[in-house]
Structure 1
Amino acid sequence: MDDAALRDLLRRHAGLIHKIAYAYCRDATDREDVIQEIAVQLWRSRDRYDPRFRETTWIYRIALNVAISFHRRERRHRGGEPLDEHLLVVEPVEPGDDVRLLLGCIDALAPLDKALVLLYLDGNDHGSIAEVLGISTSNVGTKLGRIKQRLRAALAAAAHPPEESHGAR
Structure 2
Amino acid sequence: MNKSLEHNFVELLEEHQNIVHKVCRLYTNDQASHKDLFQEITIQLWKAYPKFRGDSKFSTWMYRVALNTAITLYRKSTRKIKTQEFDTVQFKIKTEEYDQTEEVQLKLMYQAIHELNDIEKALVLLYLEDKNYSEISDTLGISEVNARVKMNRVKKKLKTILNP
Normalised TM-score (structure 1): 0.79
Identity rate, percent: 33
Q: Which of 152, 155, 163 is the equivalent residue of 2:162?
A: 155
Q: Which of 68, 71, 92 is the equivalent residue of 1:68?
A: 71
- Rg: which structure is higher? 1
- Spell out the pairing of 1:14-53 with structure 2 (5 A cutoff): 14-53=17-56
Q: Which of 40, 58, 62 is the equivalent residue of 2:61?
A: 58
- Spell out the pairing of 1:114-125 with structure 2 (5 A cutoff): 114-125=121-132
Report the CA distance shift for 1:98/1:79 in structure 2 as closer, same or farther (over 3 A).
closer
Query: Which amino acid counterpart does residue 105 of structure 1 have in structure 2?
Result: A
Would you identify which runs of 4 or more consecutive aligned residues in structure 1 move more than 6 Å? none
CA distance in 2, matches of 1:19, 1:99: 14
CA distance in 2, matches of 1:61, 1:3: 20
- Which has more helix, going by share of residues? 2
SS state of the match for residue 6, structure 1? helix
Aligned-pair CA distance for 1:134: 0.7
CA distance in 2, matches of 1:135, 1:52: 17
Q: Which of 92, 103, 128 is the equivalent residue of 2:135?
A: 128
CA distance in 1, matches of 2:110, 2:80: 25
**How many residue pairs are counted as aligned between the two chains?**
143
Report the more deviating stretch, 14-23 or 109-118: 14-23
Of structures 1 and 2, the one with the larger relative CO (CA 8 A, separation 6+) is 2
Report the more deviating stretch, 123-132 or 100-109: 100-109
Can you list the C-alpha shifts for 1:66-92, whole angstroms capped at 9, x where unaligned? 111111111113389xxxxxxxxxxxx
Q: Which runs of 5+ in 2 are unaligned?
A: 84-99
Normalised TM-score (structure 2): 0.81
Which residue of structure 1 lines up, in the alignment, with residue 95 of structure 2? none
Aligned-pair CA distance for 1:99: 2.5
CA distance in 2, matches of 1:30, 1:137: 32
CA distance in 1, matches of 2:32, 2:160: 34
Aligned-pair CA distance for 1:34: 1.0
Query: Which amino acid counterpart does residue 106 of structure 1 have in structure 2?
Result: I
Aligned-pair CA distance for 1:19: 1.2
Aligned-pair CA distance for 1:46: 1.0
CA RMSD, Structure 1 to Structure 2 (Å): 1.8
Aligned-pair CA distance for 1:52: 3.6
CA distance in 1, matches of 2:158, 2:6: 42
Which residue of structure 2 lines up, in the alignment, with residue 78 of structure 1? 81
Aligned-pair CA distance for 1:119: 0.4
Which residue of structure 2 lines up, in the alignment, with residue 86 of structure 1? none
CA distance in 1, matches of 2:107, 2:41: 27
CA distance in 2, matches of 1:79, 1:152: 26
